[in-house]
Amino acid sequence: MSAPDFWVLLGTDYCGKSSVLAELAARTGPVQPMSYDPALLPGDYGALAALPNALVAARAGRHSPEYVMALLNVAVAYLWDRVATAPPGRTPLLDSYYYKILVKCRLLGLTGGPWQDHWRSLPRPAGVIFLDVPPGTAWLRSGGGALLNAMEHYGPTAGEESFTRFQRDLRTGLLDEVRGLRVEHVPAGQGIAATADHVLRAMKE
């Protein structure tokens, strides 16, 4: 597969990726944000909007790991479909790419099928922008756990300890997956507009 020049916006849960991507999407500039977040999906990709609910059911044990991973591959395939239709002169900025999906599957014991090998065979980005956020801040953004889904914490019940431990392991796993790539860290606490500006500067440099 021939890969265009693209970047990845990466981070743990509730790091602010969706807000930054929405901010960039509202601007007319050199970056084309691409996300499988339901709030950011184009109208003709409505089938992906049902993915979060399907994954919650899958993690509840009603589906096999192979089925869960096949669902997750739809999100990865969607990103490539969007990259292929990116407007000329705009650099795609992909939400998480396959990295977050792959690491979460590993942490939650979801294995089987060809998916992990397939994801790792995909083209590598020109660089990664990593949004850093402390687990305590992420916990507050999750409404003290009220907004969590089953793929954002360890165990059957969401709690601050299981969430914090999962997020720390997730961060370690993500950085391990992108080792060898150019990674630019963007600290928390700048505000959405300032963070978006930081992302643009990092991509330009």
Query: Could you read off the pLDDT of 38-84 as tens digits, one per residue?
Result: 778 877 777 787 777 777 777 666 778 888 888 889 889 999 888 88
> Which residue is associated with the tokens 């979801």?
110
Average pLDDT in the chain? 89
The stretch 23-46 carries a mean pLDDT of 85
pLDDT exceeds cutoff 50 at 2: no
Question: What percent of the chain is predicted at pLDDT more than 70?
Answer: 96
Calpha distance 126→65 (Å, rounded): 31
The answer as to whether 2 is a domain residue is no
What is the Cα–Cα distance from 79 to 101, expressed in whole angstroms? 13
Question: Which DSSP string do the residues of 19-33 spell out, in sequence order?
Answer: HHHHHHHTS-SSEEE
pLDDT band at 156 (very low <50, low <70, confident <90, very high): confident
Provide the 3-class DSSP secondary structure of residue 198.
helix
Counting the structural domains of the chain, the total is 1
Q: What's the CATH number where 150 sits? A: 3.40.50.300
Does residue 185 form part of some domain? yes
Instruction: Report if residue 31 sits inside a domain.
Output: yes
The one-letter code for the residue type at 80 is W
Higher pLDDT, residue 91 or 112? 91
Q: What sign for the dihedral angle of Cα 141, 95, 32, 51? A: negative
Residue 164 in domain: yes
* Residue-number span of the structural domain to which 60 is assigned: 7-204
| CA end-to-end distance (rounded Å), the chain | 26
**Of how many residues is the chain composed?**
205
* Residue 1 pLDDT > 70: no
Residue 6 in this model has a pLDDT that exceeds 70 = yes
Q: Report if residue 119 sits inside a domain.
A: yes
- Among 106, 103, 95, 107, smallest CA distance to 153 is for 107
* pTM for the structure as a whole: 0.91
The whole-angstrom separation of Cα 107 and Cα 81 is: 27
Answer whether residue 1 is part of any domain. no
- In this model, does residue 183 exceed pLDDT 70? yes
Look at residues 160, 161, 165 and name the one whose alpha carbon lies nearest to residue 144. Answer: 160
Kindly state whether residue 116 falls inside one of the protein's structural domains: yes
Beta strand pairing status for 127-131 and 91-95?
unpaired
User: In whole angstroms, what is the distance from residue 135 CA to residue 163 CA?
Assistant: 8
